[in-house]
Amino acid sequence: MTQRNRNSRRKSDPALPFRPTQEKVTVAAELPWGLPKIVPIVALDYSLPIGSFAGQSVLLDLFSLFERKLQSVAEEPVEKLLNKSLQRGGDPYFDNICRTLHGISELCLPSVVNALIGWHQRM
């Protein structure tokens, strides 16, 4: 598998240049259901059931996107408000993550809540 410079992010992700340095380190991992994927090195447990793994990985991707967007907002002029940067409809990548998180939360809310609590405790 070859790794692209963009860490397999979509072109619609507006925060690509604002990626933190720790996210640039990636590995090829085998997902719990057998498919290979190039992923950033994060604190994911690959031995979890599929639902738990999906919930945690989507949340980590969402938090990573929030961090990049907050960095980009901090570097922009003051005229652009934070709520304008994070509103739905302006960024298809952000909208897709929100829809995915909504769908996963309907099926495995305890896994999503555990990942959220774990992230909050690490902060």
Does residue 31 register a pLDDT over 60?
yes
**What's the pLDDT score for residue 29?**
66
Which of the four pLDDT bands, split at 50, 70 and 90, describes residue 27? low
- Short-list 119, 17, 24, CA closest to 75: 17
Q: Are 64 and 15 in contact (CB under 8 A)?
A: no
**Helix or strand or coil: residue 36?**
strand
Helix axes 92-107, 109-122, angle to 10 degrees: 120
pLDDT (average), residues 6-34: 53
pLDDT in tens, 102-122: 887 787 777 778 777 877 787
Which of the four pLDDT bands, split at 50, 70 and 90, describes residue 16? very low
pLDDT in tens, 86-103: 777 777 888 888 888 888
pLDDT in tens, 51-87: 777 777 777 887 788 788 778 777 777 666 667 777 7
Query: Residues with Cβ < 8 Å from 33, sequence gap 6 or more?
Result: 50
**What's the pLDDT score for residue 14?**
47
Give percent of the chain with pLDDT exceeding 70. 63
Q: What is the pTM of this model?
A: 0.49
Cα–Cα distance for residue pair 90/94, rounded to 1 Å: 8
Cα–Cα distance for residue pair 15/76, rounded to 1 Å: 12
